[in-house]
Protein backbone atom coordinates (compact mmCIF):
# COMPACT_ATOMS: atom_id res chain seq x y z
CA UNK A 1 0.00 0.00 0.00
CA UNK A 2 2.72 2.41 1.00
CA UNK A 3 4.75 2.18 -2.21
CA UNK A 4 2.13 4.33 -3.97
CA UNK A 5 2.65 7.17 -1.49
CA UNK A 6 5.46 9.43 -2.68
CA UNK A 7 6.68 10.14 0.87
CA UNK A 8 7.03 6.45 1.64
CA UNK A 9 9.99 4.23 0.84
CA UNK A 10 9.22 1.13 -1.24
CA UNK A 11 8.26 -2.07 0.61
CA UNK A 12 10.78 -4.74 -0.27
CA UNK A 13 11.07 -7.11 2.68
CA UNK A 14 8.89 -9.68 4.41
CA UNK A 15 8.33 -7.44 7.43
CA UNK A 16 7.71 -4.16 5.58
CA UNK A 17 3.93 -4.57 5.34
CA UNK A 18 3.62 -5.55 9.01
CA UNK A 19 5.66 -2.57 10.15
CA UNK A 20 3.58 -0.24 7.96
CA UNK A 21 0.32 -1.69 9.27
CA UNK A 22 1.32 -1.05 12.88
CA UNK A 23 2.56 2.43 11.96
CA UNK A 24 -0.73 3.32 10.27
CA UNK A 25 -2.75 1.89 13.16
CA UNK A 26 -0.89 4.09 15.68
CA UNK A 27 -1.12 7.05 13.33
CA UNK A 28 -4.89 6.54 12.87
CA UNK A 29 -5.55 6.21 16.62
CA UNK A 30 -3.47 9.34 17.33
CA UNK A 31 -5.13 11.33 14.55
CA UNK A 32 -8.61 10.26 15.66
CA UNK A 33 -8.05 11.44 19.23
CA UNK A 34 -6.24 14.63 18.18
CA UNK A 35 -9.23 15.59 16.01
CA UNK A 36 -11.79 14.48 18.62
CA UNK A 37 -10.17 16.52 21.41
CA UNK A 38 -9.69 19.62 19.23
CA UNK A 39 -13.27 19.57 17.97
CA UNK A 40 -14.67 19.06 21.49
CA UNK A 41 -12.59 21.93 22.87
CA UNK A 42 -13.92 24.28 20.19
CA UNK A 43 -17.49 23.03 20.60
CA UNK A 44 -17.50 23.33 24.42
CA UNK A 45 -15.83 26.74 24.27
CA UNK A 46 -18.78 27.90 22.24
CA UNK A 47 -21.51 25.94 24.06
CA UNK A 48 -20.47 26.82 27.62
CA UNK A 49 -19.45 30.42 27.00
CA UNK A 50 -20.70 33.00 29.55
CA UNK A 51 -24.05 34.06 28.11
CA UNK A 52 -24.63 36.84 30.60
CA UNK A 53 -21.94 38.90 32.34
CA UNK A 54 -20.96 37.32 35.67
CA UNK A 55 -22.63 33.94 34.94
CA UNK A 56 -21.16 31.02 36.95
CA UNK A 57 -20.95 27.39 35.77
CA UNK A 58 -22.71 24.51 37.54
CA UNK A 59 -20.75 22.44 40.08
CA UNK A 60 -19.67 19.06 38.74
CA UNK A 61 -19.04 16.21 41.21
CA UNK A 62 -17.51 13.63 38.87
CA UNK A 63 -18.83 10.46 37.31
CA UNK A 64 -17.46 6.99 37.97
CA UNK A 65 -18.85 5.67 34.67
CA UNK A 66 -17.14 8.41 32.67
CA UNK A 67 -13.84 7.91 34.48
CA UNK A 68 -13.95 4.15 33.88
CA UNK A 69 -14.62 4.71 30.18
CA UNK A 70 -11.85 7.23 29.60
CA UNK A 71 -9.41 5.07 31.51
CA UNK A 72 -10.50 1.74 30.03
CA UNK A 73 -10.51 2.63 26.33
CA UNK A 74 -7.01 4.20 26.25
CA UNK A 75 -5.73 1.28 28.34
CA UNK A 76 -7.02 -1.26 25.82
CA UNK A 77 -5.67 0.76 22.88
CA UNK A 78 -2.26 1.11 24.53
CA UNK A 79 -2.15 -2.64 25.23
CA UNK A 80 -3.03 -3.46 21.62
CA UNK A 81 -0.12 -1.25 20.48
CA UNK A 82 2.19 -2.81 23.04
CA UNK A 83 1.41 -6.47 22.27
CA UNK A 84 1.39 -5.86 18.52
CA UNK A 85 4.65 -3.91 18.68
CA UNK A 86 6.30 -6.50 20.91
CA UNK A 87 5.38 -9.33 18.54
CA UNK A 88 6.89 -7.43 15.63
CA UNK A 89 9.97 -6.63 17.71
CA UNK A 90 10.49 -10.32 18.53
CA UNK A 91 10.14 -11.24 14.86
CA UNK A 92 12.73 -8.60 13.98
CA UNK A 93 15.10 -9.76 16.73
CA UNK A 94 15.16 -13.44 15.83
CA UNK A 95 16.91 -14.26 12.57
CA UNK A 96 15.73 -17.54 10.98
CA UNK A 97 18.17 -20.40 11.55
CA UNK A 98 18.86 -20.82 7.83
CA UNK A 99 19.82 -17.16 7.30
CA UNK A 100 23.00 -16.46 5.37
CA UNK A 101 25.61 -14.48 7.32
CA UNK A 102 26.99 -11.17 6.10
CA UNK A 103 29.39 -9.01 8.11
CA UNK A 104 29.10 -5.24 8.00
CA UNK A 105 31.54 -2.88 9.69
CA UNK A 106 30.81 0.83 10.01
CA UNK A 107 33.73 3.22 9.91
CA UNK A 108 33.91 6.98 9.50
CA UNK A 109 32.45 7.22 6.84
CA UNK A 110 31.77 4.02 4.98
CA UNK A 111 30.19 0.60 5.27
CA UNK A 112 32.54 -2.34 4.74
CA UNK A 113 30.81 -5.58 3.82
CA UNK A 114 32.09 -9.13 3.75
CA UNK A 115 30.07 -12.00 2.24
CA UNK A 116 30.24 -15.58 3.57
CA UNK A 117 32.53 -16.70 0.75
CA UNK A 118 34.92 -13.81 1.27
CA UNK A 119 33.79 -11.35 -1.42
CA UNK A 120 33.95 -7.80 -0.08
CA UNK A 121 32.35 -4.56 -1.08
CA UNK A 122 32.07 -1.03 0.23
CA UNK A 123 28.85 0.98 0.55
CA UNK A 124 26.98 -1.62 -1.45
CA UNK A 125 25.31 -4.80 -0.33
CA UNK A 126 24.34 -7.43 -2.88
CA UNK A 127 21.79 -9.96 -1.63
CA UNK A 128 19.67 -12.65 -3.25
CA UNK A 129 15.90 -12.16 -3.27
CA UNK A 130 13.78 -14.43 -1.05
CA UNK A 131 16.59 -15.60 1.20
CA UNK A 132 16.95 -14.55 4.87
CA UNK A 133 20.11 -12.51 5.44
CA UNK A 134 21.54 -12.04 8.89
CA UNK A 135 23.82 -9.04 9.26
CA UNK A 136 26.40 -8.97 12.04
CA UNK A 137 27.32 -5.35 12.65
CA UNK A 138 30.44 -3.89 14.20
CA UNK A 139 32.00 -0.45 14.31
CA UNK A 140 35.65 0.63 14.03
CA UNK A 141 35.19 3.99 15.72
CA UNK A 142 31.92 5.63 16.80
CA UNK A 143 28.25 4.65 16.84
CA UNK A 144 26.74 4.34 13.38
CA UNK A 145 23.36 2.95 12.43
CA UNK A 146 22.68 0.70 9.46
CA UNK A 147 19.32 1.68 8.07
CA UNK A 148 17.52 0.19 5.06
CA UNK A 149 14.16 2.01 4.85
CA UNK A 150 12.77 -0.24 2.08
CA UNK A 151 13.20 -3.25 4.37
CA UNK A 152 12.02 -1.36 7.50
CA UNK A 153 15.11 -2.51 9.40
CA UNK A 154 17.64 -0.46 11.32
CA UNK A 155 20.35 -1.36 13.82
CA UNK A 156 23.08 0.51 15.66
CA UNK A 157 26.70 -0.37 14.92
CA UNK A 158 28.30 0.13 18.31
CA UNK A 159 32.06 0.18 18.98
CA UNK A 160 33.00 -2.53 21.46
CA UNK A 161 30.17 -4.92 20.68
CA UNK A 162 28.42 -6.79 17.92
CA UNK A 163 24.80 -6.32 16.99
CA UNK A 164 22.64 -8.24 14.53
CA UNK A 165 19.72 -7.58 12.26
CA UNK A 166 18.03 -9.64 9.55
CA UNK A 167 15.71 -9.34 6.60
CA UNK A 168 14.39 -11.28 3.65
CA UNK A 169 14.19 -9.14 0.54
CA UNK A 170 11.05 -9.72 -1.51
CA UNK A 171 11.67 -7.59 -4.61
CA UNK A 172 14.69 -7.20 -6.83
CA UNK A 173 16.01 -3.70 -7.34
CA UNK A 174 18.26 -1.28 -5.53
CA UNK A 175 17.39 0.48 -2.31
CA UNK A 176 18.95 3.12 -0.09
CA UNK A 177 21.21 2.44 2.86
CA UNK A 178 21.61 5.32 5.29
CA UNK A 179 23.63 5.89 8.41
CA UNK A 180 20.96 6.87 10.91
CA UNK A 181 23.17 7.98 13.78
CA UNK A 182 25.07 11.26 13.67
CA UNK A 183 28.72 10.19 13.46
CA UNK A 184 30.77 13.19 12.40
CA UNK A 185 31.16 15.66 9.53
CA UNK A 186 30.55 13.18 6.70
CA UNK A 187 27.61 11.45 8.40
CA UNK A 188 25.21 12.52 5.65
CA UNK A 189 27.56 11.01 3.05
CA UNK A 190 27.67 7.63 4.77
CA UNK A 191 25.15 6.13 2.40
CA UNK A 192 24.92 3.19 0.05
CA UNK A 193 22.76 0.83 -1.94
CA UNK A 194 21.36 -2.62 -1.30
CA UNK A 195 21.13 -4.48 -4.57
CA UNK A 196 18.59 -7.28 -4.44
CA UNK A 197 19.21 -9.84 -7.20
CA UNK A 198 17.71 -13.07 -8.48
CA UNK A 199 19.58 -15.97 -6.81
CA UNK A 200 21.40 -16.99 -10.01
CA UNK A 201 22.43 -13.37 -10.65
CA UNK A 202 23.71 -13.17 -7.12
CA UNK A 203 25.76 -16.37 -7.63
CA UNK A 204 27.16 -14.89 -10.83
CA UNK A 205 27.99 -11.65 -9.05
CA UNK A 206 29.74 -13.57 -6.26
CA UNK A 207 31.72 -15.61 -8.79
CA UNK A 208 32.89 -12.40 -10.46
CA UNK A 209 33.97 -10.84 -7.18
CA UNK A 210 37.50 -11.08 -5.91
CA UNK A 211 37.52 -13.24 -2.84
CA UNK A 212 40.44 -12.96 -0.48
CA UNK A 213 39.45 -16.15 1.27
CA UNK A 214 36.28 -16.85 3.21
CA UNK A 215 35.78 -15.34 6.63
CA UNK A 216 36.43 -18.75 8.19
CA UNK A 217 39.66 -19.27 6.21
CA UNK A 218 40.92 -15.80 7.12
CA UNK A 219 39.97 -16.43 10.73
CA UNK A 220 41.90 -19.69 10.73
CA UNK A 221 44.98 -17.91 9.36
CA UNK A 222 44.69 -15.21 12.01
CA UNK A 223 44.35 -17.89 14.66
CA UNK A 224 47.85 -19.04 13.70
CA UNK A 225 49.49 -15.68 12.91
CA UNK A 226 48.23 -14.10 16.13
CA UNK A 227 49.50 -17.21 17.95
CA UNK A 228 46.13 -17.99 19.52
CA UNK A 229 46.92 -21.57 18.64
CA UNK A 230 49.88 -21.75 21.04
CA UNK A 231 47.60 -21.50 24.10
CA UNK A 232 44.24 -22.67 22.77
CA UNK A 233 45.16 -26.21 21.81
CA UNK A 234 42.90 -29.03 20.77
CA UNK A 235 43.74 -30.99 23.92
CA UNK A 236 43.77 -29.89 27.54
CA UNK A 237 47.55 -29.27 27.57
CA UNK A 238 47.05 -25.63 26.48
CA UNK A 239 47.32 -22.67 28.82
CA UNK A 240 43.98 -21.43 27.51
CA UNK A 241 40.66 -23.26 27.27
CA UNK A 242 39.90 -25.61 24.39
CA UNK A 243 37.78 -23.71 21.90
CA UNK A 244 36.10 -26.61 20.12
CA UNK A 245 32.39 -26.53 20.85
CA UNK A 246 32.69 -23.34 22.88
CA UNK A 247 30.29 -21.31 20.73
CA UNK A 248 26.80 -21.47 22.17
CA UNK A 249 27.93 -23.41 25.25
CA UNK A 250 27.59 -22.28 28.85
CA UNK A 251 30.91 -21.28 30.37
CA UNK A 252 31.82 -21.34 34.08
CA UNK A 253 33.80 -18.29 35.13
CA UNK A 254 36.37 -17.84 37.86
CA UNK A 255 34.06 -15.57 39.86
CA UNK A 256 31.33 -18.22 39.92
CA UNK A 257 29.19 -16.69 37.20
CA UNK A 258 28.02 -18.60 34.16
CA UNK A 259 27.76 -17.05 30.72
CA UNK A 260 26.62 -18.28 27.35
CA UNK A 261 29.46 -18.05 24.84
CA UNK A 262 27.77 -15.99 22.13
CA UNK A 263 29.42 -13.70 19.60
CA UNK A 264 29.69 -10.80 22.03
CA UNK A 265 31.32 -13.04 24.62
CA UNK A 266 33.93 -14.22 22.10
CA UNK A 267 34.50 -10.63 21.03
CA UNK A 268 35.00 -9.43 24.59
CA UNK A 269 37.29 -12.35 25.39
CA UNK A 270 39.59 -11.35 22.52
CA UNK A 271 39.55 -7.59 23.15
CA UNK A 272 39.34 -7.62 26.94
CA UNK A 273 40.37 -11.11 28.10
CA UNK A 274 40.39 -10.23 31.81
CA UNK A 275 36.69 -9.36 31.84
CA UNK A 276 35.45 -12.94 32.00
CA UNK A 277 38.14 -15.47 32.89
CA UNK A 278 37.17 -19.12 32.56
CA UNK A 279 37.27 -21.13 35.79
CA UNK A 280 40.55 -22.93 36.52
CA UNK A 281 42.48 -20.83 33.99
CA UNK A 282 44.91 -18.00 34.72
CA UNK A 283 44.19 -14.44 33.52
CA UNK A 284 47.29 -14.47 31.33
CA UNK A 285 45.83 -13.76 27.91
CA UNK A 286 46.99 -10.43 26.43
CA UNK A 287 44.46 -8.05 24.95
CA UNK A 288 44.15 -7.80 21.20
CA UNK A 289 42.64 -4.32 21.32
CA UNK A 290 44.36 -2.27 18.66
CA UNK A 291 45.99 -5.34 17.07
CA UNK A 292 42.86 -6.88 15.64
CA UNK A 293 40.49 -4.83 13.47
CA UNK A 294 36.73 -5.28 13.66
CA UNK A 295 36.83 -7.20 10.38
CA UNK A 296 39.56 -9.54 11.65
CA UNK A 297 37.56 -10.00 14.81
CA UNK A 298 34.51 -11.10 12.84
CA UNK A 299 36.73 -13.53 10.90
CA UNK A 300 38.19 -14.98 14.10
CA UNK A 301 34.72 -15.42 15.55
CA UNK A 302 33.50 -17.03 12.31
CA UNK A 303 36.39 -19.49 12.60
CA UNK A 304 35.86 -20.23 16.30
CA UNK A 305 32.18 -20.90 15.56
CA UNK A 306 33.19 -23.68 13.19
CA UNK A 307 35.29 -25.49 15.81
CA UNK A 308 33.21 -28.47 16.85
CA UNK A 309 33.81 -31.18 19.36
CA UNK A 310 34.99 -34.25 17.47
CA UNK A 311 33.93 -37.04 19.81
CA UNK A 312 30.34 -37.29 21.06
CA UNK A 313 31.68 -36.46 24.53
CA UNK A 314 30.17 -33.67 26.65
CA UNK A 315 30.99 -30.14 25.51
CA UNK A 316 34.25 -29.01 27.08
CA UNK A 317 34.66 -25.85 29.06
CA UNK A 318 34.49 -22.68 27.10
CA UNK A 319 37.01 -20.22 25.76
CA UNK A 320 38.58 -17.28 27.38
CU1 LIG B 1 27.92 6.79 10.37
CU2 LIG B 1 26.33 8.52 10.75
Residue pLDDT tens, the chain, 320 long: 445 666 788 899 999 999 999 999 999 999 999 999 999 999 999 988 888 888 887 888 888 999 999 999 999 999 999 999 999 999 999 999 899 999 999 999 999 998 888 888 899 999 999 999 999 999 999 999 999 999 999 999 999 889 999 999 999 999 999 999 999 999 999 999 999 999 999 988 888 877 677 878 888 888 888 878 878 877 777 778 888 888 888 888 888 888 888 888 888 888 888 888 888 788 878 787 777 788 888 888 888 888 887 655 454 554 44
pLDDT at 158: 93
CATH fold for domain 7-43+65-212? Immunoglobulin-like (2.60.40)
**Residue 246 neighbours by CB under 8 Å, 6+ apart:** 261, 266, 304, 307, 315, 316, 318, 319
Q: Model confidence over 114-134: pLDDT tens digits?
A: 888 888 889 999 999 999 999
Half-sphere exposure of 82 (CA within 13 A, CB side): 6
Bridge partners of 167?
A: 133
Q: Is 104 in the pocket of ligand 1 (CB under 6 A)?
A: no
pLDDT at 319: 45
Q: Which pTM was predicted?
A: 0.73
pLDDT at 311: 57
pLDDT at 320: 45
Q: Is 181 in the pocket of ligand 1 (CB under 6 A)?
A: yes
pLDDT at 68: 95
N- to C-terminal Cα separation, the chain: 50
Cα of 107 from ligand 1 centre, angstroms? 8
Q: Where in the chain is the domain with CATH 1.10.760.10?
A: 215-306
Q: What are phi and psi of 121, to 5 degrees?
A: -155, 165
Q: Model confidence over 147-185: pLDDT tens digits?
A: 999 999 999 999 988 999 999 999 999 999 999 999 999
pLDDT at 288: 77
| Rounded-to-integer distance, Cα 259 and Cα 249, Å | 8
Kindly report the number of other CB atoms within 10 A of residue 271's CB atom. 18
pLDDT at 318: 46
| Rounded-to-integer distance, Cα 138 and Cα 164, Å | 9
CATH fold for domain 215-306? Cytochrome Bc1 Complex; Chain D, domain 2 (1.10.760)
Q: Is 179 in the pocket of ligand 1 (CB under 6 A)?
A: yes
- Find, among 246, 259, 251, the residue nearest to 307 by Cα: 246
- Find, among 293, 255, 256, 244, the residue nearest to 271 by Cα: 293
| Rounded-to-integer distance, Cα 317 and Cα 261, Å | 10
Cα of 16 from ligand 1 centre, angstroms? 23
The minimum-distance atom of ligand 1 relative to the CA of 190 is 1
Q: Where in the chain is the domain with CATH 2.60.40.420?
A: 7-43+65-212
Nearest residue CA, atom 1 of ligand 1? 144
Amino acid sequence: MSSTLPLFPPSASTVAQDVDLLFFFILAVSAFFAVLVSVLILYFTFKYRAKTPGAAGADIHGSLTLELIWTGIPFILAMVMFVWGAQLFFTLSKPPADAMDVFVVGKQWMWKVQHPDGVREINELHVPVGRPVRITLGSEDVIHDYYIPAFRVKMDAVPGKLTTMWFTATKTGSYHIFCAEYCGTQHSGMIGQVIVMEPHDYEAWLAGGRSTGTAVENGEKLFTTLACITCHKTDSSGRGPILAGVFGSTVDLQDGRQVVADENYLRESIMNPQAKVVRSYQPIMPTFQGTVSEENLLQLIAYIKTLKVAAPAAAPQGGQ
